[in-house]
Amino acid sequence: MDFAAARKVMVDSQVRVNDVTDRDLQAAMGAVERERFCAAERAFAAYADIEPEITGDRQLMLPRDLAKLLQAVDARSGETALVMAGPYAAAVLARMGLTVTAQESDAAVFEVAGAALADEGVSTVVAPLSEPQGEGYDLIVSEAAVPERPESWLATLRPGGRLAVVERAGPVGKAVLYVRGRDGVSRRELFDAMPPVLAELIRTPAFAL
């Protein structure tokens, strides 16, 4: 399979046509080898309009949705980023000139994508996704959805930092952009999306007698 040609088709047919006009982002998605971030037997599907499996219950986000999410977060070269459950997004941001840490709770994800992340200069850390590692980030992104506002993630942003994530409590989620100010956090809804929800962030119902 000609992955380079497939990559170009992905950018032309799934990214540019969906109002993603950031040329640095387009170039990064046209350069990062997406097939290296999913299970080897699923590499043929890396550029299709689907969510191919990485490993276990982890999947790559749709190219269209990820491109729109990354454009909304307004990533800039020289910034620091934390990417939760999103190795491909981490590589794209690194290719755009950011200093990136990719965090996963399942080390098996890095068994699949670790070499590709190392090639892009991305640092990796294995820790529960409810416990973001580090602080003072300029931006945080996740390829997976969260069931509710991720307060622990927001707490690691510097003033002026941005968080882009899909919040999903039902069949359809909403991509949102948070911006941390000195006196609070703003929230703006962006578009509908349906990536899988991070099961480990779903609260276990508590029962009381």
Residue 119 forms part of a structural domain: yes
Q: Which of 118, 173, 120 is nearest to 145 (CA)?
A: 173
Q: H/E/C letters for each residue in 146-183?
A: ECCCCHHHHCCEEEEEEEEEEECCCCCEEEEEEEEECC
Domain assignment present for 76: yes
The answer to whether 104 touches 128, Cβ cutoff 8 Å, is no
Does 80 map to a domain? yes
Q: What tokens appear for 197 in the block? A: 């929800």
**Tens digits of residue pLDDT in 61-86:** 999 999 999 999 999 999 999 999 99
**Measured between alpha carbons, how far is 64 from 190 in angstroms, rounded to an integer?**
13
pLDDT of residue 179: 98
Number of domain units in the chain: 1
* H or E segment and range at residue 31: helix 23-31
- At residue 74, the pLDDT reads 96
Counted residue by residue, the chain has a size of 209
Beta-sheet pairing, 173-181 with 123-126: unpaired
pTM above 0.85, yes or no: yes
- How far apart are alpha carbons 198 and 209 in whole angstroms? 29
Q: In the beta sheet, which residues pair with residue 184? A: 181
Residues spanned by the domain of 180: 3-201
| Three-point CA angle 119, 5, 49, nearest 5° | 90
Query: pLDDT of 120-158, one tens digit each?
Result: 999 999 999 999 999 999 999 999 999 999 999 999 999
Q: How far apart are CA 99 and CA 97, in angstroms?
A: 7
Assigned domain for 206 exists: no
Residue 206 has a pLDDT of 57
Contacts of 2 (CB under 8 A, 6+ apart): none
The model's pLDDT over 191-203, given as tens digits with 9 standing for 90+, comes to 999 999 999 998 7
Any domain includes 209: no
Q: Closest by alpha carbon to 64, among 153, 195, 157, 176?
A: 195
CA of 200: how far to CAs of 70, 87, 92, 146, in Å? 24, 18, 25, 9
Q: Say which CATH number the domain at 115 has.
A: 3.40.50.150
